[in-house]
Amino acid sequence: MTRKFDFLVIGNGIAGISFALKASRYGTVALLSKSSLDNANTAYAQGGIATVMYSPDTFEKHIADTLDAGDGHCDIDAVEKVIKEAPAQIEELLSWGIDFDRNDDGKFDLHKEGGHSEFRILHHKDNTGFEIQQALIRRLHAEKNIEVFEGYFAIEILTQHHLGEVVTMHTPNIECYGAYVLNQQTNHIHTFLAKVTLLATGGIGSVYTTTTNPDIATGDGIAMVHRARGVIKDMEFVQFHPTALFHPGEKPTFLITEAIRGYGAVLRTQNGKEFMQKYDERGSLAPRDIVARAIDNEMKMRGHDFVYLDVTHKDAEETKMHFPTIYKKCMELGVDITKDYIPVSPTQHYLCGGIEVDLNGRSSIDRLYAAGECSCTGLHGANRLASNSLIEAIVYADAAVKDAVKYIDKYSWNEMIPAWDDAGTKLPEEMVLITQSFREVEQIMSTYVGIVRSNLRLKRAMSRLEILYKETEDLFDRSVVSRELCELRNVISVAYLIIKHALRRKESRGLHFTVDYPKRMHKSE
Ligand code: FAD
Ligand code: SIN
């Protein structure tokens, strides 16, 4: 069946929903979620959303902190755009009913996280993302112009390739006409035609064995654009959060927000010694790449699986009030954070790279925009400053709507796109092949493409991945499409891009550290 909309939005986190809410003022919108509306990285965010609120903070300070964390690789125009447009976007979030914590004087209660020189993080307790996601969903249901498709998985974006043309990365003006989409309930593949498409498919955590991301984070948008010959950038910059709760076997890994270090918690080795001062004068509040590498180093030197986070010196009632979700989760595991040290270790958390977009959120493919974690705007550079991603997502979703509406009347639906062709395929009889290959990708990436890299490890990862790639493409050609098989293809593409970009970078910068080139080159490429 073919469906036609002015705007097709693939993804239901803060980027996708905020785009949909604004685009619906100008035309019809289809919003796809491969899972349920509440299942998105957005809903997991703890720390909050960074923005300049009160003196003595200034735009200049937030810009300087972002550039510093980004380790010489940020796009200054993107940085200025996000930070200066943030307050207006926060106003909009407030108008949608999102509730951030306030002090008794009515002013917002601001948190501080690693790399921030001022208190500037708006939050709702320690479950800011849940609050945002719920408010966005409530707004979404109130909009008549938006049709929501839950359980609909976007398989491929549609381009001239689907009209039989040969498309390469040198083809001028590749255009996007919508997407092929799998209805997971009926197993039917629909053609969604759109004048403008937004990719807002979120992160890539599922590529690693341990991650803070829910299992929807399989990098689908990035893989789709890669297959469509669009430009993908900066994939080597994978962010590991320094302090995920050490609880082997749990996926996603539970996060211990960096805000708790802003509140006063300190990192200690298993024998109780503080160690961060050895690595950076900002101690436990240094930017994430530095803290994660320091913990990794301490753990490797001592043969330990975790370090401790200590908040026991703070007032117990205050700790419980600020961090109720963390308190409850740790108590369930027998750790009373007001009395006991919390065992933590670094885990995959965020991807700074992704689909390259300009200041209007446009990708290298015409009529295709990207926003949120799947995109690469240049804001984060080589390492994201904490709590800068939710704000980036909403600023760029806004920019994308503003740009798209200028052109929407010029575009028409491309009715020449054929229906999905699954002739010659049959059901994959062996699901175990898919799950086992998935596990192998996670293992390859966690073993060889983690916090510390080397040429040898990266090359070994690439040769192992090539085998999985060939087997999976073969399976894809023979099988009826399933979400699991598509996600496997996508994580393989994402893993390939991370390794390829990591091999290309002959230096250590931000989140990319390699023992073969331990120094930063003078200029970033
Ligand atoms: P998401 O919120 O991940 O939404 C993407 C959606 O797309 C998903 O719901 C998925 O189902 C859907 N989708 C994906 N592929 C397809 C497909 N093929 N077809 C259909 N639908 C698809 N950032 C901050 O700024 N501050 C924080 O405090 C913070 N804390 C965090 C804590 C945790 C534990 C995690 C995991 C992340 C945190 N982040 C934080 C990062 C931030 O939450 C994410 O970067 C941001 O929410 C991403 O939003 P998004 O809209 O791009 O994607
Ligand atoms: C955290 O709360 O530590 C996560 C913040 C972020 O990822 O931006």
- CA gap 408, 366 in Å, rounded: 12
The residue contributing the CA closest to ligand 2 atom 1 is 257
The residue contributing the CA closest to ligand 1 atom 52 is 372
- CA gap 132, 18 in Å, rounded: 11
258 lines ligand 2 (CB under 6 A): yes
386 lines ligand 2 (CB under 6 A): yes
Centre of ligand 2 to C-alpha 44, Å, is 10
Centre of ligand 2 to C-alpha 371, Å, is 18
> What pLDDT, on the 0 to 100 scale, is given for residue 169?
85
Provide Rg for the chain, Cα atoms: 22
**Taking a C-beta distance cutoff of 8 angstroms, is the pair 364, 171 a contact?**
no
Torsion, Cα of 27, 132, 208, 184 (10° steps): -50
42 lines ligand 2 (CB under 6 A): no
The series of mean pLDDT values per 10 residues for the chain, 525 residues long, is 98 98 98 98 96 98 98 98 98 95 96 94 96 97 96 98 92 95 96 98 98 98 98 98 96 96 96 96 92 96 97 98 97 98 98 98 98 98 97 98 97 97 72 94 98 98 98 90 96 98 97 96 72
DSSP string, 112-154: --TT-SS--EE-STT-HHHHHHHHHHHHHHT-TTEEEEETEEE
Sign of CA dihedral 283, 285, 290, 294: positive
Token pair recorded at residue 435: 């799950």
361 lines ligand 2 (CB under 6 A): no
Centre of ligand 2 to C-alpha 300, Å, is 24
Give 455's contacts (C-beta < 8 A, 6+ positions apart): 503, 514, 516
Quick one: which atom of ligand 2 is closest to the CA of 389? Answer: 8
Residues shown for the chain = 525
Token pair recorded at residue 136: 């966005």
The catalytic site residues sit at 288
Token pair recorded at residue 466: 């090539």
DSSP string, 65-98: HHHHHTTT---HHHHHHHHHHHHHHHHHHHHTT-
18 lines ligand 2 (CB under 6 A): no
Give the three-class secondary structure for 429. coil
* Nearest by Cα to 115 from 184, 162, 175, 68: 68
Q: Which ligand is nearest to the CA of 152?
A: 1
Quick one: which atom of ligand 1 is closest to the CA of 129? Answer: 43
> What pLDDT, on the 0 to 100 scale, is given for residue 365?
98
Centre of ligand 1 to C-alpha 284, Å, is 26
The residue contributing the CA closest to ligand 1 atom 33 is 45
Q: Give the CB-side neighbour count of residue 217, counting CA atoms within 13 A.
A: 29
The residue contributing the CA closest to ligand 1 atom 43 is 42
- CA gap 387, 368 in Å, rounded: 26
Residue recorded with tokens 């890299």: 453
Torsion, Cα of 458, 461, 462, 467 (10° steps): 170
Best substitution site from 153, 201, 369 to test ligand 1's pocket, by max atoms within 8 Å of Cβ? 201
- Beta bridge partners of residue 2, listed in sequence order: 191
Q: Beta strands 121-122 and 49-50: pairing type?
A: antiparallel
What is the number of other CB atoms lying within 10 angstroms of the CB of residue 188? 11
287 lines ligand 2 (CB under 6 A): no
Give the three-class secondary structure for 165. coil
23 lines ligand 1 (CB under 6 A): no
Q: What is the DSSP letter of 216?
A: T
> What pLDDT, on the 0 to 100 scale, is given for residue 427?
65
Q: Which ligand is nearest to the CA of 211?
A: 1
* Nearest by Cα to 361 from 319, 318, 394: 394
- CA gap 175, 375 in Å, rounded: 18
389 lines ligand 2 (CB under 6 A): yes
Give 242's contacts (C-beta < 8 A, 6+ positions apart): 114, 258, 267, 288, 291, 292, 295, 344, 346
- CA gap 10, 157 in Å, rounded: 10
DSSP string, 296-350: HHHHHHHT-S-EEEE-TTS-HHHHHHH-HHHHHHHHHTT--TTTSPEEEEEEEEE
Best substitution site from 42, 210, 239 to test ligand 1's pocket, by max atoms within 8 Å of Cβ? 42
- Beta bridge partners of residue 33, listed in sequence order: 150
Q: Which ligand is nearest to the CA of 32?
A: 1
109 lines ligand 2 (CB under 6 A): no
**Taking a C-beta distance cutoff of 8 angstroms, is the pair 19, 198 a contact?**
yes
What is the maximum span of the chain, computed from C-alpha positions, in angstroms?
68
214 lines ligand 1 (CB under 6 A): no
